[in-house]
Amino acid sequence: MILLASRSPQRRALLGALGVEFRVVAPRADEGEDPLANARAKAREVAERAGVPEGGAVLGADTEVLLEGRVLGKPADAAAARRELEALSGRSHAVRTAICMITRRDQREVVDETRVTFRPLGPAAIDWYVGTGEWRDRAGGYAIQGAGAALVARIEGDYTTVVGLPMGRLAGLLEELGLAPSADGPSPR
Amino acid sequence: MILLASRSPQRRALLGALGVEFRVVAPRADEGEDPLANARAKAREVAERAGVPEGGAVLGADTEVLLEGRVLGKPADAAAARRELEALSGRSHAVRTAICMITRRDQREVVDETRVTFRPLGPAAIDWYVGTGEWRDRAGGYAIQGAGAALVARIEGDYTTVVGLPMGRLAGLLEELGLAPSADGPSPR
């Protein structure tokens, strides 16, 4: 059993696809600037409050979007979303996701980074995307797993790191900790 | 209005995320080896049978998985799936998706390729993945948009090309043809 210390429906969907038993415990930790510190704070807060399951783990995660070293936050309104998309258009940026996994014996942490290159976006494409409203509550102002896929020319790295949970690295960590899904475990969703 | 000449639920989901009006017309074309020829045959067959919508298009697509130049087909059974996953483990392969778009005036074609690198998979990970049954009806024996995400270390290129419809290239084509979704069009799903 894994406790997912995250409110993100995207992380829930990714972990669900893996076929491990888990439930969500929304973290109450304050978030700062650094994704690894945030992932750790979420995992620790949930581990203290809900306890670490025997033979299981608490998993915290946090994601940031960086354009030339500058952190792009969640746009406050449509005008801010437009500015972020204009800044990303035709260029590469980095998406960094940190995970922290706490078991009763161990604490393991990983930071994974993927480069995302946007295609050049004309005003009509930006108007369209801002009009979808999908930028709301998204660091960088887009969701690669939704209509935002049409903004992206290519990525280099793990796609799921951009969505919010680096599945390749996570699967490796689960194997190291003896928590990997197995042939006789629950089915992936 | 776009007619999607494909049976794939993944392509339907991706096109739905774009927020263009479309409906699926299952193609009856025979499939050969070459993805561009297949995409073209599907689009042409549907265009002839159902007609090309005025101010719209027919869209055909086809995907192949290549390991060192060798095409990996859909595994016939669990043993074949295991052999494909063992061959892909710890190595890079190519996924190539072709699209063909037919309007009343134009025919446009694109082939997009993404490199996918699997993490090294031990016997337990392969047992687990074969047990999910997700390899069924999948070229290469995996689905990157499902539990298969846990097999992948990184990709280089457009993620949606691996899923089956290169959204970045498709969005560019739709803009060139004046068919792109606009701020006052339907909402993406």
- Chain B residues in contact with A144 (beta carbon < 8 A): 159
Q: At what angle do helices A167-176 and B123-132 cross, to 10 degrees?
A: 120
How many CB pairs lie under 8 A apart between chains A and B? 130
Asked whether B88 and B67 are in contact (CB, 8 A), the reply is yes
For chain B, list the domains and their CATH numbers. Answer: 2-176 (3.90.950.10)
Catalytic residue of the set B30, B34, B62, B106 = B62
Distance from CA of A166 to the nearest CA of B (A): 9
Cα A78 from Cα B14, distance rounded (Å): 24
What is the pLDDT, as a whole number, of residue B186? 67
Chosen from B2, B10, B132 to mutate, greatest number of chain A CBs within 10 A = B132
Residues of chain B where predicted confidence (pLDDT) is lower than 70: 186-189
Judge whether B103 and B74 are in contact, CB under 8 Å.
Answer: no
- For A95-132, what is each residue's pLDDT tens digit? 999 999 999 999 999 999 999 999 999 999 999 999 99
pLDDT digits (tens, 9 = 90+) for A121-164: 999 999 999 999 999 999 999 999 999 999 999 999 999 999 99
Q: Which of A50, A56, A14 minimizes the C-alpha distance to A159?
A: A14
d(C-alpha A42, C-alpha A62), whole Å: 9
Question: Which of B2, B119, B128, B169 to substitute to test the interface with A, most A CBs within 10 Å?
Answer: B128
Residue B80 confidence (pLDDT): 97
> What distance in Å separates the CA atoms of residue B160 and residue B114, rounded to the nearest whole number?
9
What's the Cα-to-Cα distance from A10 to each of A80, A164, B14, B164, B182, rounded to whole Å?
Answer: 23, 7, 16, 21, 26
Contacts of A8 (CB under 8 A, 6+ apart): A61, A164
What is the structure's pLDDT at B189? 63
ipTM of the complex, rounded to two decimals: 0.92
What average pLDDT is seen over chain A? 95
* Bridge partners of residue A155, in order along the sequence: A116, B157
Q: For strand A107-118 and strand B22-24, is the pairing parallel, antiparallel, or unpaired?
A: unpaired
pLDDT-based confidence at residue A189 (cuts at 50, 70, 90): low
A124 neighbourhood in chain B, CB within 8 Å: 175, 180, 182-183
Residues of chain A contacting B187 with CB distance shorter than 8 Å: 132
DSSP string, B120-148: P--HHHHHHHHHHTTTTT-GGG--TTTGG
Task: Please choose, from the candidates A101, A113, A30, A29, the residue with its C-alpha nearest in 3D space to the C-alpha of residue A69.
Answer: A113
Other Cβ atoms within 10 Å of A74 Cβ, number: 15
Q: Secondary structure of A145-156 in the HEC alphabet?
A: CCHHHHHEEEEE
- Quickly count helices (H) and strands (E) in chain A: 6, 7
Q: Flag if A170 and B150 touch (Cβ within 8 Å).
A: yes
Q: What is the mean pLDDT of residues A19-31?
A: 91
**Angle A126-A83-A8 from CA coordinates, rounded to 5°:** 85
Please judge whether A160 and B170 are an interchain contact, meaning their C-beta atoms are less than 8 angstroms apart. Answer: no
**CB spacing of A158 vs B181 below 8 angstroms:** no
What gap in Å lies between CA B44 and CA B30, rounded to an integer?
12
Closest approach of B59 to chain A, Cα-based (Å): 16
What is the pLDDT, as a whole number, of residue A113? 98
| Residue that wins the pLDDT comparison between B167 and A189 | B167
Which residues, other chains included, contact B8 with Cβ-Cβ below 8 Å and sequence gap of 6+?
B61, B164
Tens of pLDDT along A32-64?
A: 889 999 999 999 999 999 999 999 999 999 999
